Each structure stands twice: as C-alpha cells, then as structure tokens.
A and B are shown apart, each in its own frame.
Chain A
Amino acid sequence: MRLVALDQQAQAAGLRLGQALADARALVPGLTVLEQDTGFLASAFAEFADWHSNASPLVGVLQDKAPFGDLVLDITGVAHLFGGEAAMLRMVLGRLRALGYSVAGAIAPTIGAAWAQSHFGSSGIIGSEQLSDALDKLPVAALRLDERQVSLLTQMGLTRIGALRTRPRKPMLARFGASLILRIDQAYGQIEERMTPRLPPADHFVERKFFEPISTLEDVLLTMEGLAQDLSQLLEAEGLGGQGFHLFLYRVDHKVMTLSLNAARLTRDAGHIASLFRHRAQRLEQEHYDPGFGIDLVRLAAASLDRLEPGQAGVFETDNGAKDIEQLTDRLASRLGPLSVLKTELVASHIPERAARLVPALTQQAQIAPAGEGDRDRPLRLLPQPEPVAISAEVPDGLPAAMIWRRQRYRLVKAAGPERISAEWWRSGERLKLVPAERPTPPAPGEAPKPLPYTPDLPLFDPMTGMRDYYIVEDGEGHRFWVFRLGLYGGAVHPVWYLHGVFP
C-alpha cells in the first residue's frame, strides 16, 4: 500500500507521495491513514467538475495521472467574460481556495503545458510565445509519462523536457514507446490534444442567475418556461431548430443536475419544449429531486442543431394530424421513456416473430412495407414468447383435435394448415448443400489444373431443424389460435407444439 495524498503537516514531517505505507509508519509512528474510496472520490470530483461549467462550457476530467483526475477547462473565447486570463485564473482559484481546497492551476495554450505548469511549476499563465521556454525548464515527469519511462529517462541523465526535445526521435521511439513522442508533441502543440467534455457541449443556450437561490421544482419549471421562450427566439433569429435539449440546474453547493431530452424532429416551439420538460420533471419528482441548499443558476441549452426554415401555411396544405401525433409521442416518451412508446416496423422475413419488430416511435422513419405478405392469415395478438401446449391429433400428421393451454382443455373443431415455415439458413451461419460439383478430371499435360469451387468452412444447414408447421385452430366455442409444431414426426427429436398467437 502506498500514499496517494498528503496534507501539509504530513509533508512537513518528510513524507512524500508514492511512499510505501510501512515506511511512512516507520517515519511517523502516530500517522493517521485513511483508505482511498476511489468510486466516491471520482463521483464527487466529477460533480465538482460539472459545477465548473458555469465558468466555461467545456469542462473535462483528465483521468490518466491523478488518483481521481485533473480538472481541465477549455477557456477559448471565454476569458474576456471574466476580465482577462489572469483575472479568470485568480477568480477560479480564489473561489476554490475560499472553499478550503489547496489548488494549483495554470493557463497555457496546450493541455499538456497547462498540466505540466500546474503540477511542476507555479500557478500562472504561459503565453504562446513563452511556451517552449517554460516547458524546457520543467522535469520530464511533467509530460504525464508512466513511472517506468520517467526512471529510464532519469537514468540516462535526461531530467529536463528541453533535453528531450532536441534528441533524435527514432532511438527514443524505439526505447520509450510512442507515448513519449506523443506527449512531447502534444505539450508543444505540434499535435492537437482533445479533451472529452463531461456535459454535452451547447452552442446555443440561455441562462438565468438568481440573487437568492430557488429550490422548489415549480419555480424551476417556471424559470424553464421563460428560458424556453428566450431560447426559441434565439434559435428563430438564426433560423435553427434543435433536437436535443438540456436543462442544467447549478446548485449553490457545487453540484449540477441535468435534465436531457430529445424531440422527434427539429423544433424551436417554446410551448412544446416546455411541455416536454414538464413531463420529464414529473418523473424526476417521483424519483429524486434534491435541490440541496438551492439553485442559483438555471441554463437551458439546445443541441443537435440544424437549419429549420420558418414554416409557411400553404393554401392546399393537408393537415393529416401527423404533427400532432409526433408531439404526442414526444410527450409520452419524455415521461415514460423512449422504449415505452413503440411503433411496428415490418421486416421482409418469413419467420413470424421477425416479420414485425417494435421500434421506438421517436426514431421510426417512413417505411416501405415488404410486398406480397399481405394476404396471409396472421393473428391479431402475438405472444412475445411462444408457449408450449399439449396437442393431440387423430393421426400423427393430421389436424390437431385437442389442446391444453394454460391448464385449460380445448376441443378443436376446425383447423387449417399446415403452413410450413422453415428457418432462414442465411442468418444461421450455415451453408446450403449444393449440387455436388463434377468430379475433377486430371488436367491434360501442359494445362493448368482447374481450381476447386470454393466451399466456406461452415456447418451444413439442416432444413429439418427449426422448421415449423403452423396451424390455425378453432375450438367449439369459437376461440381461434395460431399453433405450430417444431420438428417432424419420425425425426430424431420428438416434435413439440407451441401456441404463438390469438386470432380475433
């Protein structure tokens, strides 16, 4: 076990990071040690990171070096809102210090340089001109290398980054791996390094700040309705519509609650957006809505934007209610979840359970029905899983005469069938038995031998397995069922009967 974090007192006592716990105990006998709760720290830190999105829209957590991450903010084009980079750094760091954290931070043109400066230099700003000077002076560990690489470099006497930069690259690549070269290039800005923002990035957003924090859900929703109006105007001015909408609630205790939803098609209708959030919020209320000590900033953002031309009512426009239905499914899906509002999609397949599948109504596109399947008799209700039934017939291959389903006996008086539906060999990863190729004749002298026909290395398809014989049966009272027999009489496996659907 090793030390991962120290307070100032422990540092003063001569302990250092990465030291073995036994050594530390030997140095300081009365040491207080707590085990690291990684999951808790990571989630608390992530929430902390989210809260920083009030400073910049792009906030990420770098997971690779620190035990629970480093906070990265992309402040491109943001700093002027806080009175310049220096003022912004002072504000962000000062705010955290006021909360009782010890913080180090730096602003630099690249992620690598900012990380290096904040961990191994003093808090400050590196402009793009001083980038190489500042980096050259820092130790190699500032490149976010792993321990083996750092110790190897130190053994070779390469302790500063500047010494690495001028060395030939090929031997270094062979010796230390591609990651070293990558890190050097990223730190100096030769290769762009990307960060993954934790919250969905939002180009278009509107927000409202509160002097006194609000806490009830009703207040939040009222604010949201006002924001939806503003957002709608903002989008309309640019001729845009959005499909995803996010509502961020910034709590005073540095946490962010996010409500996200998707509309079926591009929209900027304030009433529709507001009603979607209202339905989602009803669900939130049932589960957990915890405003903590209050919410001091509410932000509504639109994502997945695209051009949405202002609609114009035509003279010959036909209103077939499709828009109303879409808005209805939107509202239903925002409360019940998109997987609860479904539409049928027909698939060109003979297998009954594959011929229709249920897809979320939000994603469903206009479809072309497979041709030629319309005039078959199919049940109105299909059981998601066929249920085994006991069926007896007068002769093995005759029409079913009696059936037991769900412990109820039925005397069958009418039956139609069988309709034989075989398995789809092209989906089962098997090969068909083809007409045997003619026996290869020995090639005549001077002639190249003919290549054999290609046979894939797959098991042979057996048409008897997975073959079903479907019957429509009717009992004396008029119940009509769709039953099938899996397998054949006289085959290797005894056939089993299933009930698959119910007719009107």
Chain B
Amino acid sequence: MFLFCSYSHSTMQTQNRQQRLAALRDTIANIERKPALAEMRARAFDGAADGFPRLPGGLLQDVCTDAVRNGGASLGFALGQVRTLFTPKRLAVLYLQLAADAQFFGLPYGPGLSSFGLDPAQLVIVRASDMQDLLWVAEEALACRAVAGIVADIGGAPEMLDFTASRRLSLRTAESGTSLFLLRYGADRPASAAHLRWHLAPHRSGRKPFDDRAPGPARWGLTLERGNTGQNTREWILEWTGNAFKSLPDRAGKTRQHLPGTPVSLPLPALLGNPISQTG
C-alpha cells in the first residue's frame, strides 16, 4: 500500500493541513486494523477504572514467560482471559500443542480445568505433528465463528512462525473476533505482529483462609511490553478469584495512579492509528 503526500508551501492552509492529517490517521488506522484496541482505548478514555482491563476478542496476544516451568501460569492467564470472551454463540476453546511436546509442557487436565472454573467439555485439544500443521489449525479455527479463544503452546521462537506468519494471524484475529494466545517460553523476543505482548512471571500466591502454610489463589505478575490497552498502567499483579482477574496493589503497597487523560510517555507506534488525539 502506498501513501502519496504532496506539499505546496504557498497555498497550504492550516485548517486544510489538519483535515489531511486526520484523513491520513484514518487511513493508517485502517491499515493497522486494530478495531478491538481502538474500541478499548475509546472505552478507557471514557473514564474506566485503572484495574486490569477486560480485553475484547479479536486480539493476537503473545504471552512470554522465562521458563517452561511457568507453563501452568501462562495457560492459566490465557484461559482466564478466554473465560471472559464466552458468549452464548462462542463457547469453545481450542488448545494447540505439538504432539512431541506433551511430556515437556504437560497437557490441560480436565479436573484442573473445572477447579479453575472452566468446563472441560468446552476445550478441544489439538495435537499437531509439526509447526506448519499447528499454524494451519490456528488459522482454520480463527475462521470458525463458534470459537471464543485459541491457546497455542508455541515454545521458543520456531522458524515457521516468523513476522509474516504472525502478521497473517493478527489480521485474521482482528477480522474474526476470536482471540489467539501464543504462549512462548524463553528470554528472547522474536519479531511478531501481535497486538499485545505480555511478559508473565508467577507471583507468590494469596492467602488461603484458615491455613497460612498452604498455597492460596493463583497470582500473576504481568508487564505489558507491547501494545496499548488505553490504561495508564503497564504493570499489574493479578489474582484469580475463580471467575475473573482482580488487580492487586503492587509491592510498594499502592496502585499506580495516573490522572485520567495524562499522556503516556512511552513510544507507542500504535498511537498513530488512534484517531483520538493524545496530545489534546
């Protein structure tokens, strides 16, 4: 796609220029095709709370974590988000994994899903033999309008899933309204066209009533590394209440409070696509 801009210094009017800029922003917003995030931001600027946002469907999210031993935590985070995406017409979750990785990552466990608050009958487990099949399944499932979310255990940075492939997936997710979560393990951050990229670390669990020595409700420490949810915070500590995420104050004991409307001082390429001006 090409954009042609021509300037003529003598006749350029300020108002005209403003209109053209607005038109360009609209074009770029169309190119970016992130209707879900745009909607998010619009909602956030309406004065939503500063807690963890309820993210809409249609987002490609990279969930990066440092080691495979955090696999339970990242699966929990993804499924916790999928749980908010269920509608009467979208009731299925797909979990994709390479068949050879089952022992290394572990497989989703039915009774564990029910104790997490998810009906195991809603989960379809697909065990692909190679990454090509896995990506094909992801794309095929995105086209199905009854799938609420897809969770894929990617592992590290497979060659097959390069920027082009993830761009393709991100366009498909934006079109379909189904969310796709790519669970990645390891310290490196491969090129990806994901709408959001999280860095996830497990966090000491909450308090279990009547037993201080026992692990309580699950908690996650999350950092939003890429993308913008419209919130002013980029770090959260979340707790699973059995139904939804609850945002907790961080270690310093206070929630990060920003005044609503304060400009976010971070390099955000996605802001270009935001038709609402950030600078006022």
Contact = CB atoms under 8 A, between A and B. Distances in A.
A344 B92 CA distance: 13
B70 A479 contact: yes
B96 to A, nearest CB: 10
Contact of A504 (B77, B92, B133): B77
A503 interface: yes
B187 interface: no
Interface string B148-167: 00000000000000000000
Contacts of A377: 115
A327 B146 CA distance: 11
Interface stretch (B19-27, B102-110, B168-176, B269-277): B102-110
A325 B69 contact: no
Contacts of A31: none
B59 interface: no
Contacts of A342: 124-127
Contacts of B145: 321, 324
Nearest to B90: A321
Contacts of A299: none
B107 A384 contact: yes
Contacts of B264: none
Contact of A503 (B90, B91, B126, B215): B215
Interface stretch (A75-83, A192-200, A432-440, A470-478): A470-478
B40 interface: no
Interface stretch (B43-51, B198-206, B250-258): B198-206
B215 A380 contact: no
Interface string B61-77: 00000000111110111
Label chain B's interface by main secondary structure: mixed
Nearest to A355: B111
Interface in B106-121: 106-116, 120-121
B270 to A, nearest CB: 29
A382 B147 CA distance: 24
Interface in A406-423: 406, 408, 413-416
Interface string B117-146: 000110111111100010011001100111
B69 to A, nearest CB: 6
A503 B111 contact: no
Interface in B193-211: 201-205, 208, 211
B82 to A, nearest CB: 13
Contacts of A413: 204
B16 to A, nearest CB: 49
B141 A381 contact: no
B107 A381 contact: yes
Nearest to A329: B124
B124 A381 contact: no
A319 interface: yes
Given A381-B109, A414-B205, A340 B99 contact: yes
B140 A328 contact: yes
B79 interface: yes
Contacts of A477: 201-202, 204
Contact of B110 (A325, A356, A405): A356
B240 interface: yes
Given A324-B145, A478-B202, A381 B115 contact: no
Nearest to B119: A369
A478 B239 CA distance: 12
Contacts of B201: 477-478
Contact of B109 (A335, A367, A380, A399): A380
A352 B111 CA distance: 9
Contacts of B116: 380, 504
B218 interface: yes
Contacts of A487: none
Contacts of B106: 379, 381-384, 501-502
A332 interface: yes
Contacts of B115: 374-378
10 contacts: A319-B89, A328-B144, A332-B137, A336-B127, A342-B125, A414-B214, A480-B205, A502-B72, A503-B215, A504-B220
Given A356-B120, A479-B72, A504-B75, 11 more contacts: A324-B145, A332-B137, A340-B126, A344-B108, A376-B115, A378-B111, A379-B109, A383-B106, A478-B202, A479-B202, A480-B215
